[in-house]
Structure 1
Amino acid sequence: MASVKAVQPTENGEDDQFDAPLAVLETSGSKRTWQQTLSVLISGVALFSDGYNIQITGYTNTVMAKLYPHALTTTMKTRLSNSILIGDIFGMLLFGLCADRLGRRWGIVGCTFFLVLGVTLATAAHGKSPTGMLWMIVIARGVAGLGAGGEYAVCTTSAVEAANETAGLRKKRGFFVVSATNTAIIAGFVGSAIVFLIVLAAYGGEPTEGVWRICFGIGIVLPLTIFIFRMRMVDSTLYRKHGIARKAFPYKLALRRYWKPLFGCSFAWFMYDTVIYPFNLLAPTLAAGFNSKATLLQSNGWGALINFFALPGCIFGSLLIDRLGPRQTYAFGMVMVAIFGFAIGGAMEPLRTGGTGAFAAFVVLFGLFQSFLSVGPGNNNFLVSSESFPTPVRGQFVGLAAAIGKAGAAVGTQVYPLIIARFPTVIKGHQAMFCIGSATCLLCAVIVMTMIPDRRAQLEDEDVEFREYLEANGWNTADMGCLGNEIVSSSTPSEKEATKL
């Protein structure tokens, strides 16, 4: 059984060291307090901003297309959609590194700064011409993406480590981490739809400059609201015990030990994002295809309803994770997505030509398709990626996996429109889109079950094994953590327990 060094003060004030099995330390601090639960949620809830700022682009593009028809070419529209994704990728890599080398708290502060700066610049964008203004928005959203992407690595590691502080939290770690990560992102998707529809309705359903500026500006609210709480956060107990902050870092040893789960998490996340992002962005277009006379408000309203189905999927999936396990829930969700996707693809033509009732059936089926994308990969990408690696490299490996996933989003948003255009009719193109997406989901389920390990109930088990692995390969672990080799347990064992040990 793995063990750690615990420190117990003796009567004369000197520290008496002994080996404490993790199974014993697991029984300490079993109750969770509301402050500890809140710290898990605060760690990740800013991911709402990432969901909001990515999805709002799909809605505001429909307004800008009418306001600036000559400036907003297909190429420029792609730049607007991909600028925040490119910023996300760099942010995930940069702040994943910062989270491991400088600490979780400083990573969170840096993410918030860039996110607020970028959204502010996009809201105030101006130029001598519409094209110049759109270029400023592209750059500003790239800056916002740098902060939003960093949230993936920093928030996920902070949330999963905060949910590991007590046995009470560990029993529901999946539920709490999902609530702070994917549920926050999907809530951002839904929130962007609600905000857009309200603002558009306030302008009488007509496309005006005020619509997109207000929608962009609202994305600043949440990061600023929780910033004061995040400034007061401290690094997790796991990081203070096992973090490696010195210049030298055992990258080769870490990759040698964890290459398989790193590849599995990264590839699965990549395939998921090749599906979810293009389907989210094209939801209003898919809905509009059933009614060529739909107004701007109607087509976006139906798209918003379809995307809303993902939120109950998040909640339902979060209740399954701690019962089935993250990996099993992941694969289950992917298989269900494939079933609904093949059903929609096969029935697309009668659904499109069957009148109002068929349109309602399409909305329900597509909604369930979106819902199970949240039940499986949406919820569990964060969890399996963070639980597969030890604390010293968690931020960097989660950031790398998420960055590869975002690359999949960029690929998907580029490739699926090209696939649709290759077919003689739009209906045939949409059929192909659903069938290819469903096949991708089945492949993803296979990767998850073969290359991603099952969760560890106690994250520190892997930390201790990684430390022993480093020592066995000649790496000096004396200065790991802020206390070196003396790893202080969260609560001191009683005298009776110490005697037994």
Structure 2
Amino acid sequence: MDAVARSLVPARLDRLPWSRFHTRFVAALGVAWVLDGMEITIAGAIGSVLQDSRTLGLSPVEVGFTATVYLIGEVAGALVFGRLSDRFGRRRLFVLTLGLYLVANGITAFSPNLAFLLVFRFFAGAGIGGEYSAIHSAIDELIPSHYRGRVDLAVSGTYWLGAMIGTASTYVLLNPAVLPVNVGWRLGLLIGPLLGAAIWVLRRHLPESPRWLLMHGRQEEAERTTAGVEAAVERGGRPLPPVDESKAMEFRPHGAPSYREIARVLLMEYPRRTFLGATLMISQSFLYNAIFFTYVLVLSNFYGITPHDASKYLFAFAAGNLAGPLVLGRLFDTLGRRVMISSTYIVSGVLLAATGWLFKEGLLTAATQTLLWSVIFFIASAAASSGYLTVSELFPLEIRALAIAMFFAVAQTFGALGPTIFGALIGDRTHPDPARLFYGYLFAAAMMVFAGLVALVLAVDAERRPLEDLAPPLSAQRRLTR
């Protein structure tokens, strides 16, 4: 059995001021959300194009199935690569998963038929799903605790930057007056790999998480990596604060736990946190999938907006979603997690119910509904991002990546019901019934309010606290369950 070791590495990382090193680190890893937002948006936009006989000639059901396969790939990738990230390290996995996405999606652009398209869409989704686990683990373990909340929210919120890029690009690429119909959609699928390739080179030079190295018995390497981060901060002209010697951690390297131990930690040691994380993730996933994937249908069936013009409304909607985490993120580190998580969930739910009623009463236009939804999702986007923050920072380091993957998988499974339910409520274009859709909005709003109330009771005051204080590693001596 390995001897008990003592280290100041976590304390040294948490006391660092923000520097150019941290900015580069977050930019190189956070691109995963941009890529996913771009992928989802482009895939939704090219659906009608893929039905054209000059492209792949798919049926509406087959087009829908391509999106389903991508989401299944995300879930599978999150679970597989999340476990591997805890076992083999953050760095290896965030290099591997981005590489998988780049290759698979690049090949997808040359699909000659449906079967070929489905296979490589699955692997592209698996790469992105695996990204979530590895990057959130790495970011939380290297970013100083005083900045962790706002950084996590900003990274998650960049999904909508990807959606805006995807919307803008398809507005040009899918215009037959600009490009042949069988060329534009293929070029659209190559945008992500081109962006990702530049970032992949940068990622290869990023360090491994020193915290992960410690827990796997590689203390000397952890010390060297931490010293390298400190040197990078000093080169940026930022003085290093002194280290509090009393914050040294004693630990016995543990390595990757068994599935039985993982179940024990989630269900017996931290059952309240598990319930909190599942509630937050499921409610936000259902809301987003329900609204975003049926947005164009609502604009078309109730307001007569053409699919081509709908991209303008989607752009405004995405802008509101992008701004929310960037503007509100700082408050999660100052006012605190409990206040901000509960309030963003509850307020966005109440506003959605009110907007749904205005919609049912016929008091909205396409422009005013988009404006109100942009306001709602300015808040809801911060709420959704805080769900990822919660499941990332509240479980021990040895299972952090897999915990993120498991909550993501559960959320995606429930969230996948949203588009189907709301699509049925929207109904046929010839007989749209706003009252039926209102009840769907009311249900989604109730889920958000319920999640906010759960957070009010169960949320952990994690702001500005070290990860080891929130959830002591399984390797730590004298662990205390909170």
Coarse TM-score class (shorter-chain normalised): 0.7 to 0.9
Higher-Rg structure is 1
What TM-score, normalized to structure 1?
0.79
Mapped partners of 1:194, 1:21: distance in 2: 44
Q: Does 2:146 align with 1:177?
A: no
Partner of 1:400: 406
Q: Which runs of 5+ in 2 are unaligned?
A: 217-253
Partner of 1:143: 123
Change (3 A) 1:304 1:426: farther
1:419 to 419, 422, 425: 425
Offset at residue 207 of structure 1 (A): 8.3
What TM-score, normalized to structure 2?
0.82
Give the stretch that moved more between structures: 66-75 or 94-103. Answer: 66-75
- Residue type matched to 1:147 in 2? G
**In 2, are the aligned partners of 1:420 and 1:428 still within 8 Å (CA)?**
no
- Residue type matched to 1:228 in 2? V
- Residue type matched to 1:245 in 2? G
Change (3 A) 1:69 1:278: farther
Partner of 1:477: none
Q: Does 2:241 align with 1:241?
A: no
SS of residue paired to 1:204? coil
2:448 to 432, 441, 454: 441
Offset at residue 327 of structure 1 (A): 3.8
SS of residue paired to 2:294? helix
2:397 to 378, 391, 400: 391
Partner of 1:302: 313
1:460 to 455, 468, 472: 468
**In 2, are the aligned partners of 1:67 and 1:207 still within 8 Å (CA)?**
no
Q: Does 2:264 align with 1:265?
A: no
Structure 1 residues 123-162: aligned runs within 5 Å = 123-126=109-112, 133-162=113-142
Q: Does 2:223 align with 1:216?
A: no
**In 2, are the aligned partners of 1:351 and 1:362 still within 8 Å (CA)?**
no
Change (3 A) 1:252 1:227: same
- Residue type matched to 1:174 in 2? G
Mapped partners of 1:207, 1:408: distance in 2: 38
Offset at residue 21 of structure 1 (A): 12
- Could you list the per-position Cα deviations for residues 199-258 of structure 1 after superposition, in whole angstroms to 9, with x for gaps in the alignment? 234x33898222221111112122211111211222212111224436757335423212
- Could you list the per-position Cα deviations for residues 34-66 of structure 1 after superposition, in whole angstroms to 9, with x for gaps in the alignment? 113322332332221112112222211233345
1:346 to 340, 353, 357: 357
**In 2, are the aligned partners of 1:100 and 1:393 still within 8 Å (CA)?**
yes
1:186 to 141, 147, 160: 160
Change (3 A) 1:452 1:365: same
SS of residue paired to 1:233? coil
Mapped partners of 1:185, 1:319: distance in 2: 18
Mapped partners of 1:225, 1:145: distance in 2: 19
Change (3 A) 1:406 1:134: same
**In 1, are the aligned partners of 2:32 and 2:132 still within 8 Å (CA)?**
no
SS of residue paired to 1:288? helix
Offset at residue 108 of structure 1 (A): 0.8
**In 2, are the aligned partners of 1:348 and 1:431 still within 8 Å (CA)?**
yes
Mapped partners of 1:205, 1:279: distance in 2: 31
Q: Does 2:33 align with 1:47?
A: yes
Mapped partners of 1:463, 1:347: distance in 2: 44
SS of residue paired to 2:293? helix
Give the stretch that moved more between structures: 247-256 or 381-390. Answer: 247-256
Q: Does 2:372 align with 1:365?
A: yes
Give the stretch that moved more between structures: 332-341 or 251-260. Answer: 251-260
Mapped partners of 2:419, 2:24: distance in 1: 36
Offset at residue 398 of structure 1 (A): 1.0
Q: Does 2:430 align with 1:450?
A: no
